[in-house]
Structure 1
Amino acid sequence: MGLGTDGSDKYKDFWEYTPATNTWRQIADFPGVGRYQAVAFAANGKGYVGTGYDGLNRLKDFWEYDPSTNTWAQKADFAGSARYGAVAFAINDKGYVGTGYDGNYKKDFWQYDPLADAWTQKPSFGGNKRLGASAFVVNNEGYICTGLDNGTYQTDNWSYNPSTETWAEHRPLILNDDNVAGDNYNFSAVPRAYGVAFSIGNTGFVALGSKDSQLTNCWAYSPTDDNWYQKTDFGGSSRTSAVAFGLGDYGYIGLGANGSTRYDDLWILEPNADVD
């Protein structure tokens, strides 16, 4: 975890978490300008960080972190426009970055090849333009959902297949009470902005964020039946702009803000365990 802001300072420190010992250690500082609302992904055994906002400028620089040497190296700038509030994920050792805000809401989509240090534009995101969306990877497909487009909370859910370079739309995040067709579901609590997302096994998770108010609920998405399932609420305070990651059978959520309050706590979700 790294970067972010306390409302005035923009941070450059980075930290590594070891679940086995439940400990943190500081690693090399990020060498670029401090920022928030950046994106990050892991590919080919290394971490990549870029875009974001430094309080004055939207950014497009990109950096690689090598954990074996604890060093950073600047890589090719993001090929799209400088922006913040975008999303990113990695599939098959390629990184993908899209959506966000560059003065306008965006839906362009780009692939990064770490071996070639090169960006390639791919078919634009299938839904509306947006920022503050959520993204996760399940079964080697990347999913993008939620977020804001000109103040409107988005209710679509799309997956990207890198093999065919195509987008597919899934059930919308709405209340559907179509008794005639017998396809009844209520996913209307899933839309939000500035939430977090992570994957565990063949399931994607979306939690926290805001929709008119700060949220603590957590939803799991199963591509097998194209359904969302509500999980146990987040145990800490409601917040936006937190960070999350999945490791093994567990999901982790930490940091974030609620108004002027900043958090430094870290929470773990074991999605298949009974609630105690």
Structure 2
Amino acid sequence: MLLIRAHHYAFAVILPVLLFLFGCKKNPIPDPAITVSVQDISNGFRLSTSISNVKTEDILESGLVWGENENLVKGAALSYLSPTPLANFSYDVVAGFTKGKRYFVRAYFIDQDHQLRYSEVVAFEGKNTLGLNISLPQQAYTWGDEVEVKVTNANGADLASATIVINGKMRLKPSKTIGGSVFFKVPAELYTYQNSVSLELYNQAGLNTYFILQQPQLPTDFLIVDKVGGTVKLTGNYFNPNIDSNIVMIGTTKLEVLKAERTALELKLPLAEFSYSGNFSVQTGKDLITTSKAVSKVYRFLTQVSEQSGVARYRGIMENINGKIYCGLGSDIDTRGLSDFYEYNPVASTWRKLADFPATLYGAGVSFTAKNKLVFIPNAIGTTFATDVYQFDIANNSWKKSNSYPGTMLSSYTLFASDNYGYMLGGGYATSTNYIYTVKSFKRYDPATDTWKTLPDFPGTSRRDFKSFKVGNNVIVFGGQSMWGTGESLYPTDSWSFDLVSETWKKIKDVPSYIYAVNCFSFEVNGKAYIGGGMSPAGVISSSIYEYDPIADTFVKKDNIIDKSMLVMSAATSVGGHGYIMFGKPSYDYHLQPLKEVFRFDP
């Protein structure tokens, strides 16, 4: 009986406790909850967060993370941190969403126990909105420069994780970050003047802005005057340190870049077949190019060795006597006859003023040397055409008048010489009606006795303004024009060779029509003749030098004439295995500046 009562008592005590405990289970303390929602707004998206079952004072930090990666983690995605920890807040994101791309967002908060809690991930589809807003200092850059990119809406993200995207293709990591700025160095592989740049952060594309590269800079009126195969150092600025990114040209000829620095280029002039010239240009990228206004010249066989004493001139004379060149006379740019005369030493490259010619010259004159005597036949003395002949006495530095040539006064004839005699061939004379007749007359002059002898007429077509050049003991005669008092001109094509030993003529294969006879220059070196410049019957001026091989009886192009002032009305001779060229003009335009330089030709 007592036992039953005891059980009843225990049950009566425990039952209320159990009922109390079961009652508590029906009303538990709810767990903290966090949700996020996405609302499409006119200029972007509104991301809203709601945190429940947590007192606001127990929230240490609250915010949002979003991006293209579904596995969003704070610190590895774009984020927003609420300035004051709130249980409910919204943030409008207006940048960086590409239309059609899928994006993800989740909210988070940190409680008083420093526990990080995330919401479920919510997905949404992007629309075209502005990317990360960036700006650059407005200036031109060059390779290796460090560029600052200022970011104004990074949303607290770690900018060291950013990628700099240039022109949509080139991707760079920052060289450094400071505050809200990302820095990068301009890569040498960049080759366009204007370049787009954007910032990509956690796969989120940013807004484009632009920067420009410096154009290469050359010294004012920079030019090169050198020989083919030479090496040249160019000092300037904003060259590409990547050798292959620099394209250096002279005209249409490309130079090899041996070494490249920002302020200097080391260049190799190609071993071209012919001389070449043109404006010097440096291209460091697609539209990064600078061209010098001055004309550069690269010579194959020609070398500028001096400048003439006296004024620049054309139609002058030059003769080699005992290894020195005697030259001068001719006309200046105003067509005035010049009387000054000089001795040029090609070994020492020195000049000596000699006695002036004793009469007033008008127009051109021609010369030859025989028995070490220089003989000059002027076209006119004063304004009178004449048959006068003069000799220059080297030993006494003086001029003397010699016996005139016999027959009618002639013009536009040719002169050539052997060791002992000078020869005067062809030319023309004017009638009272000013019509010109060409002649076949042929005369020989002996400077030792100051006597003239008339030889048998030239067997070929009569002519004037033609060319003769000596090679060995033979003189080749070609070109010119024939006139018979009608005012009309014919252009003979027959070519002849004169043997200086036997004094006989021989008809030879015609000289090619591309070698122009009128007012060209010629000289002989090592048994070969060289003919340059001149004008064709059609008025075309040649800019080539041709080599004649008498054994093979062939003409081949040897070089280009890149100094145009020697194209017509220049003079030439040879000394010690070298040709020398002086005087001349680019054309028959008398307003053009004559040649001032002296050139040596080394075949």
Q: Quickly name the TM-score band, shorter chain normalised.
A: 0.7 to 0.9
Residue pairs, 1:80-159, within 5 angstroms = 80-103=407-430, 104-150=437-483, 151-159=489-497
* CA root-mean-square deviation: 1.9
> 3-state SS of the aligned residue for 1:244?
strand
TM-aligned CA distance change 1:32 to 1:54, over 3 Å: closer
Aligned to 2:329: 3
What are the Cα deviations for residues 61-104 of structure 1, in whole angstroms up to 9, with x where unaligned?
11111111111111110123222222111113111111222222
**Partners of 1:53 and 1:197 in 2: CA distance:** 24
* Partner Cα separation in structure 1 for residue 541 and residue 382 of structure 2: 23
Bigger proportion of residues as helix? 2
The residue number in structure 1 matching 2:520 is 195
Structure 1 distance, partners of 2:458, 2:352, is: 37
Aligned length: 258
**Aligned-partner Cα distance in 2 for 1:205–1:36:** 26
Structure 1 equivalent of residue 595 of structure 2: 263
After superposition, what is the alpha-carbon deviation per residue over 1:150-200, rounded to whole angstroms, capped at 9, x for unaligned? 444443321112433321111113xxxxxxxxxxxxx22113311112111
Structure 2 residue ranges without an equivalent (≥5): 1-326, 431-436, 484-488
Q: Deviations over 1:198-220 (max 9, x none)?
A: 11131122111112222221112
Deviation at 1:136, TM superposition (A): 2.1
**Whole-Å separation in 1 of the counterparts to 2:368 and 2:416:** 5
Matching of residue 251 in structure 1 with residue 579 in structure 2: yes
Change (3 A) 1:226 1:134: same
Which of 499, 503, 510 in structure 2 is aligned with 1:172? 510
* Local SS of the residue matching 1:209: strand
Aligned residue identity for 1:97: M
Check conservation: 2:516, 2:534, Cα contact below 8 A. no
Partner of 1:180: none
1:56: how far off?
3.5
- SS of match in other structure, 1:107: coil
- Cα deviation digits, residues 132-162 of structure 1 (max 9, x gap): 2222222222222222224444433211124
Give percent identity, aligned residues only: 27
What is the CA–CA distance in structure 2 between the aligned matches of 1:255 and 1:25, rounded to whole Å?
17
Secondary structure of the 2:498 match is strand
Q: Is the 8 A contact 2:517 2:534 kept in 1?
A: yes
Relative distance call for 1:51 and 1:109 in structure 2 (3 A) is farther
Matched, 1:163 2:501: yes
Q: How many Å separate the matches in 2 of 1:251 and 1:148?
A: 28
Q: Which runs of 4+ in 1 moved over 4 A?
A: none
Q: List gaps (5 residues or longer) in structure 1.
A: 174-186, 272-276
Q: CA deviation at 1:253?
A: 1.4
Asked whether the 8 Å contact 2:331–2:364 carries over to 1, the reply is: no
- The amino acid of 1:21's aligned partner reads A
Are 1:44 and 2:377 an aligned pair? no
Q: Which protein has greater RCO, CA pairs closer than 8 Å, 6+ apart?
A: 1
Instruction: Name the residue aligned to 2:267.
Output: none
Is 2:400 the partner of 1:66?
no
Residue 17 (str. 1) matches residue 347 (str. 2):
no
| Aligned CA distance change for structure 1 residues 8 and 190 (closer, same or farther; 3 Å) | closer
Q: Distance in 1 between matches of 2:500 and 2:456?
A: 10
What is the identity, as a one-letter code, of the residue corresponding to 1:240?
V
1:149 partner SS: coil
Which has the higher Rg, Structure 1 or Structure 2?
2
Q: TM-score, normalised by structure 2?
A: 0.41
Counterparts of 2:445 and 2:357, CA distance in 1 = 20
For 2:528 and 2:471, the matched residues in 1 are separated by 6
Deviation at 1:266, TM superposition (A): 1.9
